[in-house]
């Protein structure tokens, strides 16, 4: 029999008979195939049943690897599809990939799946797992595959087949269930150990709104029950960080059904938090050469026509009529800034000009997309528009990227960067889009930032760099964005006088750093799980008396702290100290000051940090010094103003 050389993990080599499966080949390496989910052959993931016909390198795919989990989840999706087809034969299968924390499978089943159907499906899946059916791979020509799926009435699979360029495709079969699939898979259904179906939701076929809506069942799977329950309990933990819950519990912000969806109300504690952020923002912008401006809330409709918003953004805008004249309520702040720029003749020496505004805008968002503070209909952006000479553009973009990095560093956020290119609905020539996109790309490259490209996701007037932060459940939210725009300067005929005495066109950047205060406060609340650092905490100190005897001295401590400018409150109630501490702790107040007989007598305080640490009895002044240090408003690294 012919032998081939197989190398394992780039190390051990063995001569094995040609044509045997990976599983069989492992015996030659004295490896236990039970520990392998699948294997990579020359870097390509393959089933353990894959037959080795030529010399190759193989590497294990272990259960604890991301790829191992992916294969498990993909196979679990197939098991689920088999269960669904056996319980609901009229359902058609669409696609069923593994995703970040699990998998889903889409079905065309017009009656829709009910919550209780999930239980039935789970039960059926368990039966299929007990049957331990092998996942069998077959390769066949596209034509044969088309015939097969046409015979089965699986029209979505036929559509998928149309898009596959290769002549040969693979199918997987377990029991009577056949699916078009690239693989690889587990050896058999019995290898699926711990899984749970989590939810049903509608999903448009191929993600296109005009396509039919399919039923998507989400689930997750792990190699053992312990990992599954760990994952499920981490989801429960994440729910405790949900800003909507913390917003209510900590009395930061809320919404009222009577007021309307997507409209935020700041409660006193949230009002303070927002004010601190606003002051921080203004200071940081002034320091970086931005000028504070303010535009009105609504502007005449002709202006929106001129800018292109009426043609490209109308669905997101609100309108109002005043004395027969129609006004558009601003969804963006750029127009007033453009008019401010245009209100004078500008010299090349004046540039760059950076106008900053905490601008409140209104956008009509579809009801289904609203989400706490993270997606609302009225929000305030930390918005600026930078007008600069073309030769300044890249350094301005880099300056904004630095600004973003500084600020995210202060809050301790990790972020992801995306570059979004020209969308279908957009204004301006190909030429200026290319120019704008290359400016953004150059700046990103020069900064050495890693980024993903989102094709066709740009704004209608220009490409953009988006900075994404994650919420407690790992969902990504766009916060900072830098948008490069040559279109609006052209539409508004902006100009400056160059050193040559001639008129030139400035470039324009639209940019936000935190993004919007609403969204940022939302993700920030989840990021800190409500335990804001002292400089942001709505209440920094709570003064707690042990008995009523402490009230007069406690009052004087409170007054002193208040006069020093700290955000302080008292708890003089007739309650045990433990009770008051528990309450302050639940309110996530950074410092508690315990006032008992000892402190009254020696004119001291005993601070307890939110961490639970007793800082020891000290003179009030010592605590004030400590708090001043702890609550100092942070300034970015290397900041001269510090």
- Annotated catalytic residues are 334, 363, 381, 383, 385, 464, 510
Query: Closest by alpha carbon to 133, among 79, 88, 81?
Result: 79
To the nearest whole angstrom, how small is the minimum distance from the Cβ of residue 244 to RNA?
Answer: 5
To the nearest whole angstrom, how small is the minimum distance from the Cβ of residue 474 to RNA?
Answer: 9
Does 578 bind RNA (CB under 7 A)? Our answer is: yes
Closer residue to RNA, CB minimum distance, 200 or 252: 200
- Contact with RNA (CB under 7 A) among 65, 234, 614, 621: 614
d(CA 215, CA 201): 6
Segment near RNA (CB under 7 A), from 131-139, 141-149, 401-409, 607-615?
607-615
Provide the 8-state DSSP code for 187: S
To the nearest whole angstrom, how small is the minimum distance from the Cβ of residue 259 to RNA?
Answer: 9
Does 592 bind RNA (CB under 7 A)? Our answer is: yes
Continuous segment of H or E residues that includes residue 579: helix 577-586
Closer residue to RNA, CB minimum distance, 200 or 273: 200
Does 213 bind RNA (CB under 7 A)? Our answer is: yes
Provide the 8-state DSSP code for 614: B
Query: Closest by alpha carbon to 125, among 55, 75, 168?
Result: 75
Does 597 bind RNA (CB under 7 A)? Our answer is: yes
Does 477 bind RNA (CB under 7 A)? Our answer is: yes
Both tokens assigned to 96: 């069923």
To the nearest whole angstrom, how small is the minimum distance from the Cβ of residue 112 to RNA?
Answer: 3
- Contact with RNA (CB under 7 A) among 168, 240, 314, 576: 576
Closer residue to RNA, CB minimum distance, 59 or 365: 365
Segment near RNA (CB under 7 A), from 148-156, 163-171, 279-287, 365-373?
365-373
Closer residue to RNA, CB minimum distance, 181 or 459: 459
Closer residue to RNA, CB minimum distance, 392 or 585: 585
Closer residue to RNA, CB minimum distance, 45 or 607: 607
To the nearest whole angstrom, how small is the minimum distance from the Cβ of residue 623 to RNA?
Answer: 12
- Contact with RNA (CB under 7 A) among 82, 189, 215, 540: 215
- Contact with RNA (CB under 7 A) among 77, 606, 627, 631: 606
Q: Check whether the bond before 34 is cis (ω within 30° of 0).
A: no
Per-residue contact flags (x/-) with RNA for residues 407 to 446, judged by CB under 7 A: ----------------x-----------------------
Q: Please, where are the H alpha helices in 88-208?
A: 115-131, 142-152, 155-162
The two beta strands, 3-8 and 56-61, are parallel
Closer residue to RNA, CB minimum distance, 17 or 112: 112
Tell me which residues in 617-636 interact with RNA (CB under 7 A). 617
To the nearest whole angstrom, how small is the minimum distance from the Cβ of residue 327 to RNA?
Answer: 21
Quickly tell me which residue has 């402190």 as its tokens: 599
Long-range contacts of 463-466 (CB under 8 A, 24+ apart): 463/419, 463/420, 463/421, 463/422, 463/433, 463/436, 463/437, 464/419, 464/420, 464/440, 465/397, 465/401, 465/417, 465/418, 465/419, 465/420, 465/440, 466/417, 466/418, 466/419, 466/420
To the nearest whole angstrom, how small is the minimum distance from the Cβ of residue 410 to RNA?
Answer: 18
**Per-state percent for the chain, helix, strand, coil, to nearest 5:** 40, 30, 35
To the nearest whole angstrom, how small is the minimum distance from the Cβ of residue 257 to RNA?
Answer: 4
Does 479 bind RNA (CB under 7 A)? Our answer is: yes
- Contact with RNA (CB under 7 A) among 244, 511, 527, 587: 244
Tell me which residues in 61-100 interact with RNA (CB under 7 A). none
Q: What is the largest CA-CA distance in the chain?
A: 98
- Contact with RNA (CB under 7 A) among 163, 166, 257, 321: 257
Segment near RNA (CB under 7 A), from 119-127, 386-394, 426-434, 509-517?
509-517
Tell me which residues in 167-206 interact with RNA (CB under 7 A). 199-204
Does 209 bind RNA (CB under 7 A)? Our answer is: yes
- Contact with RNA (CB under 7 A) among 281, 382, 518, 571: 518
**Is 383:290 a contact under the CB 8 Å cutoff?**
no
d(CA 160, CA 145): 11
Query: Closest by alpha carbon to 216, among 107, 123, 122?
Result: 107
Tell me, by CB under 7 A, how many residues bind RNA: 80
Cβ atoms within 10 Å of 198's Cβ, excluding its own:
15
- Contact with RNA (CB under 7 A) among 360, 392, 547, 635: 547
Tell me which residues in 105-144 interact with RNA (CB under 7 A). 112-115
Segment near RNA (CB under 7 A), from 82-90, 282-290, 389-397, 588-596?
588-596
* CA atoms within a 13 Å half-sphere pointing along the CA-CB vector of 71: 27
Closer residue to RNA, CB minimum distance, 73 or 216: 216
To the nearest whole angstrom, how small is the minimum distance from the Cβ of residue 376 to RNA?
Answer: 4
Closer residue to RNA, CB minimum distance, 49 or 255: 255
Closer residue to RNA, CB minimum distance, 260 or 619: 260
- Contact with RNA (CB under 7 A) among 153, 260, 296, 619: 260
- Contact with RNA (CB under 7 A) among 29, 103, 223, 379: 379
Closer residue to RNA, CB minimum distance, 284 or 466: 466
**Cα 470–chain centre separation:** 4
Quickly tell me which residue has 């596959």 as its tokens: 164
Both tokens assigned to 287: 């320091």
To the nearest whole angstrom, how small is the minimum distance from the Cβ of residue 2 to RNA?
Answer: 49
Cβ-based burial of 172 (10 A; exposed 0-12, middle 13-18, buried ≥19)? buried
Quickly tell me which residue has 């490896």 as its tokens: 31
Provide the 8-state DSSP code for 445: H
Cβ-based burial of 103 (10 A; exposed 0-12, middle 13-18, buried ≥19)? buried
Closer residue to RNA, CB minimum distance, 179 or 599: 599
**Is 397:443 a contact under the CB 8 Å cutoff?**
yes
d(CA 606, CA 608): 7
Task: Name 354's bridge partners.
Answer: 386
Under 8 Å CB-to-CB from 110, ≥6 apart: which residues? none
Handedness of CA 526, 527, 530, 532 (dihedral sign): negative
Does 377 bind RNA (CB under 7 A)? Our answer is: yes
- Contact with RNA (CB under 7 A) among 426, 481, 525, 540: 481
Tell me which residues in 283-312 interact with RNA (CB under 7 A). none
Query: Closest by alpha carbon to 161, among 169, 172, 152?
Result: 169
Handedness of CA 369, 371, 374, 378 (dihedral sign): positive
To the nearest whole angstrom, how small is the minimum distance from the Cβ of residue 213 to RNA?
Answer: 4
* CA atoms within a 13 Å half-sphere pointing along the CA-CB vector of 116: 0
């Amino acid at each position: 029999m012919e032998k081939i050389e197989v190398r394992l993990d780039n190390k051990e080599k063995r001569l094995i008979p040609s044509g045997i499966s990976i599983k069989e080949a492992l015996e030659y390496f004295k490896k236990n195939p039970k520990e392998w989910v699948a294997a990579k052959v020359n870097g390509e993931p393959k089933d353990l049943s894959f037959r080795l016909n030529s010399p190759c390198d193989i590497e294990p795919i272990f259960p604890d690897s991301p790829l191992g989990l992916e294969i498990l989840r993909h196979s679990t999706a197939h098991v689920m599809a088999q269960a669904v087809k056996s319980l609901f034969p009229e359902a058609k299968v669409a696609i069923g990939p593994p995703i970040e924390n699990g998998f889903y499978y889409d079905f065309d089943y017009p009656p829709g799946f009910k919550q209780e159907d999930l239980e039935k499906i789970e039960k059926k899946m368990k039966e299929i797992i007990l049957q331990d059916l092998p996942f069998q791979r077959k390769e066949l020509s596209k034509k044969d595959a088309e015939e097969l799926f046409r015979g089965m009435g699986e029209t979505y699979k036929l559509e998928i087949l149309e898009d596959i360029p290769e002549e040969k495709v693979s199918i997987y079969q377990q029991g009577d269930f056949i699916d078009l699939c690239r693989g690889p898979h587990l050896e058999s259904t019995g290898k699926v150990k711990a899984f749970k179906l989590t939810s049903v939701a509608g999903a448009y076929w191929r993600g296109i709104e005009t396509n039919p809506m399919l039923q998507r069942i989400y689930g997750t799977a792990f190699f053992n029950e312990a990992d599954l329950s760990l994952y499920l309990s981490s989801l429960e933990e994440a729910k405790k960080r949900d800003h909507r819950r913390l917003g209510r519990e900590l009395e930061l912000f809320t919404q009222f059904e009577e007021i309307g969806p997507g409209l935020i109300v700041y409660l006193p504690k949230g009002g303070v938090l927002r004010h601190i952020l606003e002051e921080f923002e203004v200071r940081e912008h002034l320091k970086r050469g931005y000028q504070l401006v303010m535009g009105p809330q609504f502007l005449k409709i002709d202006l929106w026509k001129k800018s292109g918003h009426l043609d490209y953004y109308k669905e997101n805008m609100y309108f109002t009529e005043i004395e027969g004249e129609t006004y558009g309520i601003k969804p963006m702040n750029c127009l007033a800034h453009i008019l401010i720029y245009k209100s004078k003749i500008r010299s090349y020496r004046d540039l760059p000009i950076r106008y900053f505004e905490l601008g409140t805008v209104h956008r009509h968002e579809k009801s289904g997309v609203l989400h706490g503070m993270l997606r609302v209909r009225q929000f305030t952006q930390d918005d600026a528009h930078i007008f600069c000479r073309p030769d300044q553009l890249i350094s301005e973009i880099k300056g904004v990227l630095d600004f973003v990095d500084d600020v995210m560093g202060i809050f301790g956020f990790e972020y992801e960067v995306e570059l979004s290119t020209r969308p279908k609905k957009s204004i301006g020539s190909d030429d200026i889009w290319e120019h704008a996109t290359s400016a953004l790309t150059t700046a990103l490259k020069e900064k050495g930032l890693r980024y993903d490209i989102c094709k066709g996701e740009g704004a209608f007037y220009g490409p953009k760099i988006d900075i994404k932060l994650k919420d407690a459940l790992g969902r990504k939210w766009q916060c900072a964005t830098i948008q490069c725009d040559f279109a609006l300067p052209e539409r508004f005929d902006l100009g400056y006088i160059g050193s040559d005495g001639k008129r030139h066109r400035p470039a324009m950047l639209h940019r936000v750093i935190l993004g919007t205060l609403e969204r940022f406060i939302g993700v920030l609340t989840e990021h800190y799980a409500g335990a804001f650092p002292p400089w942001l905490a709505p209440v920094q100190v709570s003064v707690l008396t042990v008995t009523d005897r402490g009230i007069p001295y406690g009052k004087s401590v409170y007054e002193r702290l208040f006069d020093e400018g700290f955000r302080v409150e008292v708890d003089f109630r007739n309650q045990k100290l433990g009770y008051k501490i528990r309450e302050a702790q639940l309110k996530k107040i950074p410092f508690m000051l315990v006032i008992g007989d000892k402190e009254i007598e020696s004119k001291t305080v005993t601070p307890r940090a939110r961490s639970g640490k007793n800082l020891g009895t000290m003179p009030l002044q010592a605590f004030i010094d400590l708090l001043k240090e702890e609550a100092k408003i942070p300034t970015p690294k290397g900041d001269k103003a510090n």
